[in-house]
Amino acid sequence: MSISKRLDDARKAYAKGDQSASAQAHDPKRIAASMERHGGASSKYLGEMVYGGLDGIITTFAVVSGVAGAELGANIILILGLANLFADGFSMATGAFLSARSEKEYYQRERQREAWEVAHFPDGERAELFELYRGQGYSEDDAHKLVEIKSRDPELWVNAMMIEELGMLRDERNPLYNALATLVAFVVAGAVPMLIYLLGLVVPIPAGVAFPVSLGLSGLALFGLGAAKVLVTERNPWRGGLEMLIVGGLAAGVAYVVGALLKGLGGG
């Protein structure tokens, strides 16, 4: 049982006022088992995969809609769509890598500074931690006890300073895997609007069929990915799916109108 499943069960039990189900969700053995399974490799990068996929499909579908609105033909859709798909995917992956690496480097620099301060100015760091706990509403006695417990182990002490003083949590994700998850999700999801056009390279597609099919596939993919956000945001999947369907539809609609207005520039 994963921690997300246990938390979901706890929320449902609370919403229903079911004390028995709440007790089951808070069973110590179940909590321990869920924590052991928490933090798997795939779950660490779930956010990058979901949001990378959403960006990919919205961006590519906007390109397809713009070209379709300009009535420039399937070959132009494939050229612009594929160029956009891989160029934007690479750009997003690079951005994800650099952002994640910068955050890890910044965290490490701050942690080294805190470790140095703990080693050289322990009394001052204890005073800082004491005031932080007092500011959170702990009594003087409880704040002193917390400081005494945290400062027994230098590693735990530095961890406490990073969280309580700087509000920084260690990110265990690998920046390279962040980039790869973003790239793969962007390319795979972003290819959905062009599947029918790619199929047209080997099988004749009747005129006027490709864009409606692309529209339908993109709508389904947008709704599915929007609903999949529940794995990250823990919100209602239907609401998430409809939100992304509307956002993607608006982006595609704007692109289609612009393409239609400017189709004369492309010889349409």
Report, as ranges of residue numbers, the positions in the chain whose pLDDT lies below 70: 1-8, 11, 25, 30-44, 229-235, 264-268
Q: How high is the pLDDT of residue 83?
A: 92
Q: How high is the pLDDT of residue 247?
A: 82
Q: What is the pTM of this model?
A: 0.72
Q: How high is the pLDDT of residue 42?
A: 47
Q: How high is the pLDDT of residue 86?
A: 92
DSSP the chain: --HHHHHHHHHHHHHHT-HHHHHHHT-HHHHHHHHHHTT-HHHHTHHHHHHHHHHHHHHHHHHHHHHHHTT--HHHHHHHHHHHHHHHHHHHHHHHHHHHHHHHHHHHHHHHHHHHHHHH-HHHHHHHHHHHHHHTT--HHHHHHHHHHHTTSHHHHHHHHHHHTT--------HHHHHHHHHHHHHHHHTGGGHHHHHTTTS---TTTHHHHHHHHHHHHHHHHHHHTHHHH---HHHHHHHHHHHHHHHHHHHHHHHHHTGGGGT-
- Domain spans of the chain? 49-263
Q: How high is the pLDDT of residue 171?
A: 83
Q: How high is the pLDDT of residue 116?
A: 92
